[in-house]
Structure 1
Amino acid sequence: MSEGYIRRINFIEKGNGPPVILIHGVGLDHTMFRHQIDFLSLSYKVIAYDMLGHGKSENPDGSYQLLHFVDQLNQLLMELKIERVNIVGFSMGAMVAQLFAIRFPEKVISLCIMSAVANRNEEQQQNIMKRVEQVKENGHLSTIDAALSRWFTQYFALVNTDLVNEVRSTLENNDSEAYLKAYSLFALSDQDLWHQLGSITSPTLIVTGEKDTGSTPDMAMQIGEKIHNSRVVIVPFVKHMLPMEGKKELEHHLLKFLNENNFN
């Protein structure tokens, strides 16, 4: 596995084969995909990177727009001389993946969006805006316990304390200003995307956890109705953090999907 830093984008690269790029969620970094990097790199060239304001990538001044994250991804692909790619996005990373597929359909071999939000109802929108206000008033550290409770089932958290504490540490190490900018964007971008989803033409796998209260199975089904060339998988008994708590079932469906679109 090699590590790189191109134009202030921190990334890692492992394996050989068709390229697969992994995009993490808000407040996290590329290390959340550690297991998927090792698993997929047996058959694919896997690239995982830190989004703007996350991990070791740059934190530009000013507010964020989703297009900034799409441009960052496109810049990385151009620097790596990758013309077409399989994109896997988690949560906010799924937003970036969807908008990239809308703007650059010719560059997308396949698209996997996991734990993605879509078309939040009034109550769901109020809930996330309350969390944005909490970050503004009390800082991002005040939201971590509740986030971990939403992301992991109680049983998984009890028997995987080291892993959950690792995620906690990643959240704690965020730059407060960058986290607020990214989380505010995450809270407001689903409606803009919702009206564009029908223009996605790439083969698409949509995956979410049965117990995910933020990126619900109903949202996944709605996304699937919008994107014509898609399939929906609901992973039973899992909350938000599919790449960790639901990794075995996720990887089974993801590898099958990637192989169908790259080797058949």
Structure 2
Amino acid sequence: MGAAVLVSARGVRINAIDRGAGDPVVFLHGIGGDAGNWAPQLEALAATHRVVALDSRGFGRSDRTYGRMSLADYARDVLVVMTELGIGRAPIVGLSMGGMIAQTVALTAPQRVASLVLADTSSSADADMKADLTASGAAAVAHGMPAVATAFMPATFSRAAVAENRRYVRDFEENFSSTDPLTFNIGLQAIAELDLTDELHRIDVPTLVLVGDEDALTPPEHSKTIASTVPGAELVVIDDAGHLSNLDQAGAFTEHLVRFLDAA
């Protein structure tokens, strides 16, 4: 996968994959995932770019912390890691919770963001979404992550991927199941506070919004809201893809990503 580096961010060690050379691109994964979720895209881009994929605080090989976190806190970690790795400004690619963090970075430190790719994500949490997040967090703490993973998989991947039990579905479920339930709940609580829609008009960098047509966790309507609010944003709906469209349809996702980065 490439060299792993540990960067100290405000007293916490953040793990990151750092490989390739050329213009940097920063990748942010979704909740319950890690930097490895970006494997197809890192492999494709490393020949022409420096690709940096973080394990967000509490996930993957990064340190666990058990205090309250906000999306702004996760965003500050991203900025510290970029600084420590000598990256002043870069495109930021975020999926799901990573897309929420990417929006936050763009709004709080616009000078650090060259362009944005927001995949299978949302810009605000409505009452139903907050209720689902609260229930999922409570279930994780009470019953453990494997039970939550079993419930999440049908909503995370396309129907075909789940039915065929594809390898990346199994790998993600195994990784998701090993997530610390407390840090998972902390992340869900941060997502529940998401309220960025009214601020998106301030984003003034090239923005690509990608979403799977079968995304049940952040349905295409969420992406349509983002794309219609960020000035000049492009929306692409990926066929036969669920919430992790970068894995469900890795080829199509990567093709759109490369095209966008080349043009931005």
TM-superposition CA deviations, 1:61-120 (whole Å, max 9, x none): 311111111111011011011111110001000011000001111111110000002344
* C-alpha distance after superposition, 1:154-183 (max 9, x if no partner): 322343533212111111111121111112
In the other structure, the counterpart of 2:221 is 218
* TM-score computed with the length of structure 2 as normaliser: 0.93
Q: Please give the alpha-carbon distance, in whole angstroms, between the structure 2 residues aligned to 1:119 and 1:9.
A: 26
Structure 2 unaligned blocks of 5 or more: none
Residue 117 (structure 1) aligns with: 122
Match for residue 88 of structure 2? Answer: 83
Aligned to 1:202: 205
Structure 2: how far apart are the matches of 1:116 and 1:23?
A: 12
The residue number in structure 1 matching 2:75 is 70
Greater CA drift, 102-111 or 131-140: 131-140
AA at the equivalent of 1:189: E
Q: Any runs of at least 4 consecutive aligned residues in structure 1 with deviations exceeding 6 A, and if so which?
A: none
Aligned to 1:13: 18
User: In 2, distance between residues paired with 1:203 and 1:189?
Assistant: 26
> Which one of the candidate residues 117, 126, 134 is aligned to 1:129?
134
C-alpha distance in 1, partners of 2:65/2:133?
A: 24
- Counterpart position of 2:155: 150
- CA contact under 8 A between 1:26 and 1:179: conserved in structure 2? yes
User: What's the secondary structure of 2:48's corresponding residue?
Assistant: coil
Match of 1:166 in 2: 171
Q: Please identify, of 26-35 and 6-15, the stretch whose mean Cα deviation from structure 2 is larger.
A: 6-15
Distance 1:68 1:119, change over 3 A: closer
CA distance in 2, matches of 1:62, 1:122: 24
Cα 1:200–1:14, aligned 2, differ >3 Å: closer, same or farther?
same
Q: Which residue of 1 aligns with 2:242?
A: 239
2:61 partner letter:
K
SS of the aligned residue for 1:250 comes to helix
Query: Whole-Å Cα distance in 1 between the matches of residues 198 and 145 of structure 2?
Result: 30
Q: Is the 8 Å Cα contact of residues 210 and 235 (structure 2) preserved in structure 1?
A: yes
1:155 maps to a residue whose letter is A
Q: Which residue of 1 aligns with 2:43?
A: 38
TM-score, L = length of structure 1: 0.93
Secondary structure of 1:196's partner? helix
Q: RMSD between aligned alpha carbons?
A: 1.5
Letter in 1 for 2:196: L
The answer as to whether partners of 1:118 and 1:215 remain within 8 angstroms in 2 is: no
Tell me which amino acid in the other structure corresponds to 1:2.
Answer: A
Deviation at 1:134, TM superposition (A): 2.4
Aligned residues: 259
Residue identity opposite 1:96 in structure 2: I
* 2:193 pairs with one of 167, 181, 189: 189
